[in-house]
Structure 1
Amino acid sequence: MEVTLREITADTVDAVIALAVGPDQQGFVASNAVSLAQALFSEEAWYRAIHADEELVGFVMLDDETLRKSPPAEPDIGLWRLMIDARHQRRGIGREVIRLIVRHVASKPGVRTLYTSYVPGPGGPEPFYLSLGFVPTGEIDEGEVVVEYPRSSISA
């Protein structure tokens, strides 16, 4: 299975919005409609549709400080949203997306870290992120646990 990240177009936006996690996961990630609306108002938003082979299966969005008009000397990139449609979970797609994101981050000169945060709780994404090597920073941001991917693990 080949996982790719593709730009969202006028032809694909409705299908991206229609993707959804399972009912028990809805408290852990915003809908794609909300994410796309937020992206309109952020100069740092980088977002893509996730495809497995040729099938649309998810959505990913980064908070990428390198996209600012005046980026900091040592920018950070945050994994703002990652959602895999309920019908396509547990197939290794999320892990492959993280691998692609790490490669994307490695291609950006001067980036200090890749971080994300998650809502803690049963059924949440904590085991997923920890199994991929993300490490808790000790920070809590708006009730979410902040984790970072070790800089030493990010290489082009």
Structure 2
Amino acid sequence: MRAPIVSLREVTADTVRTICELSPHEAQSGFVAPNAVSIAQAHFNPAAVFRAVYADDEPVGFMMWRPGDESGGCFLWRFMIAGGHQGKGYGREAIGLWLKSLPPQGYKLAQTSYVAGDGGPHGFYLAQGFRDTGETRANGERVMELAL
């Protein structure tokens, strides 16, 4: 049996409700905003790009990014894999697809931030190659980056 193919797809009028219903494990809800909030925020930030994460034809997550505050940087603003789909490698694959897409667009640095806490995403991002910068954002989130 083959592993599902992970892809990043546009959220459409036909898929938006399904994507908005995806959520992480309940214990992780304090680490990422609901997808509906992220999509609404993206509509007020013209530079934001958001995509649904699919495993074959099944939506399993959501990610959103924008140009970073530093020249040549791209900031991963939101990322989540639905609770029932975690631990299957979909997150790793989705981040890999995103990272591969950045250099052709002129980006030299990938950045993200995270809420610290048990069950949070820090270890996941470390495993993807991100490193702590030591910077803390005004909202208390800690910043990580990965040179591309």
TM-score in same-fold range (> 0.5): yes
Equivalent residue for 2:111?
115
Residue 133 of structure 1 is aligned with which of 129, 135, 139? 129
Equivalent residue for 2:13?
10
Shift of 1:76: 1.6
Aligned-pair RMSD on alpha carbons?
Answer: 1.5
Runs of 4 or more off by more than 6 Å in structure 1?
A: none
Equivalent residue for 2:51?
48
The letter of the residue matching 1:112 is K
Residue 78 of structure 1 is aligned with which of 66, 75, 78? 75
The letter of the residue matching 2:97 is L
The yes-or-no answer on 1:103 pairing with 2:94 is no
Give, in whole Å, the separation in 2 of the partners of 1:127 and 1:46.
Answer: 25
Shift of 1:73: 9.8
Give, in whole Å, the separation in 2 of the partners of 1:73 and 1:116.
Answer: 12
Shift of 1:107: 1.4
Write out per-residue CA displacement over residues 70-94 of structure 1, whole angstroms, 9 at most, x where no aligned residue. Answer: xx99332100111111110000000
Write out per-residue CA displacement over residues 85-140 of structure 1, whole angstroms, 9 at most, x where no aligned residue. Answer: 1110000000001100111112112x231100000011101110111110111100
Equivalent residue for 2:32?
29
Report if aligned partners of 1:20, 1:86 keep a CA contact under 8 Å in 2: yes
TM-score by length of 1: 0.88
Give, in whole Å, the separation in 2 of the partners of 1:11 and 1:64.
Answer: 27
Report if aligned partners of 1:46, 1:64 keep a CA contact under 8 Å in 2: no
The count of corresponding residues between Structure 1 and Structure 2 is: 144
Shift of 1:45: 0.5
Instruction: State the secondary structure of the residue aligned to 2:98.
Output: helix
Unpaired stretches in structure 2, ≥5 consecutive residues: none
Equivalent residue for 2:140?
143
Unpaired stretches in structure 1, ≥5 consecutive residues: 66-71, 152-156
| % same residue | 46
